Structure 1
Amino acid sequence: MHPWIAQRTTTFDSSGIRKVFDLAAKLKDPVNLSIGQPDFDVPQPIQDAAIQAIRDGKNAYSPTQGIAPLRDAINDRVQQQFGHDDRDVFISSGTSGGLVLSMLAMIDPGDEVIFMDPYFVMYPALIRLCGGVPVPVDSYPDFRLHVDRIEAAITDKTKMILVNSPANPTGVTATEQELRDVALLAKEKNIALLSDEIYSQFMYDAPFYSPATDNDQTIVIDGFSKSHAMTGWRVGYVHGPSEIIATMLKIQQYSFVCAPQPAQWAALSALDVPLTGHIDDYRHKRDLVMQGLSEKYEIEKPGGAFYAFPKAPGSSGEAFVHRAIEAGLLIIPGNIFSGRDSHFRISFAASDETLHRGIEILNRLAS
Structure 2
Amino acid sequence: MHPWIADRTASFDSSGIRRVFDLAAKMKDPINLSIGQPDFDVPDEIKEATIEAIRAGKNAYSPTQGIAPLREAILADVRSKYPGQDRDVFISSGTSGGLMLSMLSMVNPGDEVIFTDPYFVMYPALVRLCGGVPVMVDTYPDFRLDPAKIEAAITPRTKMILINSPGNPTGVVASEEDQRAVAQIAADKKIALLSDEIYSRFFYDGTFYSPAADNPDTIVIDGFSKSHAMTGWRVGYVHGPPAIIATMLKIQQYSFVCSPQPAQWGALRAMDVSLQANFDDYRRKRDYLVNELSPHYELTSPGGAFYLFPKAPGQAGGEAFVERAISQGLLIIPGKIFSQRDSHFRISFAASDAMLQRGVEKLIQLAKS
Give the TM-score taking structure 1 as reference length. Answer: 0.99
How far apart are the structure 1 equivalents of 2:25 and 2:90?
Answer: 38
Aligned to 2:76: 76
**Cα offset for 1:25?**
4.5
1:127 matched to 2:127? The reply is yes
Aligned to 1:337: 338
**Cα offset for 1:309?**
0.1
Q: Which amino acid aligns with 1:345?
A: R
Aligned to 1:14: 14
Q: Which amino acid aligns with 2:172?
A: V
1:24–1:325: 8 Å Cα contact kept in structure 2? Answer: no
1:90 matched to 2:52? The reply is no
**Cα offset for 1:21?**
3.0
**Cα offset for 1:275?**
1.4
How far apart are the structure 2 equivalents of 1:299 and 1:352?
Answer: 20
How far apart are the structure 2 equivalents of 1:23 and 1:59?
Answer: 35
How far apart are the structure 1 equivalents of 2:332 and 2:279?
Answer: 22
> Deviation digits for residues 234-274 of structure 1, max 9, x if unmatched?
00000000000000000000000000000000000000001
> Deviation digits for residues 33-83 of structure 1, max 9, x if unmatched?
000000000011100000000001100000000000000000000000002
Give the 3-state SS of the residue equivalent to 1:69 in structure 2: helix
Aligned to 1:3: 3
How far apart are the structure 2 equivalents of 1:22 and 1:256?
Answer: 26
Aligned to 1:351: 352
Q: Which amino acid aligns with 1:27?
A: M
2:24–2:32: 8 Å Cα contact kept in structure 1? Answer: no
How far apart are the structure 2 equivalents of 1:23 and 1:279?
Answer: 29
Give the 3-state SS of the residue equivalent to 1:171 in structure 2: coil
Aligned to 1:301: 301
Q: Which amino acid aligns with 2:30?
A: P
How far apart are the structure 1 equivalents of 2:23 and 2:222?
Answer: 32
1:285 matched to 2:323? The reply is no
How far apart are the structure 2 equivalents of 1:208 and 1:172?
Answer: 12
Q: 1:25 to 1:230 in 2, by over 3 A?
A: closer
1:84–1:216: 8 Å Cα contact kept in structure 2? Answer: no
Aligned to 1:364: 365
1:44 matched to 2:37? The reply is no
Aligned to 1:267: 267
2:161–2:191: 8 Å Cα contact kept in structure 1? Answer: yes
Q: 1:266 to 1:24 in 2, by over 3 A?
A: closer
Same amino acid, percent of matched pairs = 74
Aligned to 1:111: 111
**Cα offset for 1:206?**
1.2
Aligned to 1:228: 228
1:211–1:218: 8 Å Cα contact kept in structure 2? Answer: yes
Q: Which ranges of 4 or more aligned residues in structure 1 deviate by more than 4 Å?
A: none
**Cα offset for 1:302?**
0.4
Aligned to 2:195: 195
Aligned to 2:100: 100
> Deviation digits for residues 268-291 of structure 1, max 9, x if unmatched?
000000111001100000011001
**Cα offset for 1:85?**
3.5
Give the TM-score taking structure 2 as reference length. Answer: 0.98
How far apart are the structure 2 equivalents of 1:292 and 1:25?
Answer: 28
**Cα offset for 1:18?**
1.6
How far apart are the structure 2 equivalents of 1:279 and 1:257?
Answer: 32
**Cα offset for 1:202?**
0.4
**Unaligned ranges ≥5, structure 2:** none
Give the 3-state SS of the residue equivalent to 1:141 in structure 2: coil
Aligned to 1:205: 205
> Deviation digits for residues 149-179 of structure 1, max 9, x if unmatched?
1111000000000000000000000111011
Q: 1:276 to 1:24 in 2, by over 3 A?
A: closer
**Cα offset for 1:24?**
4.4
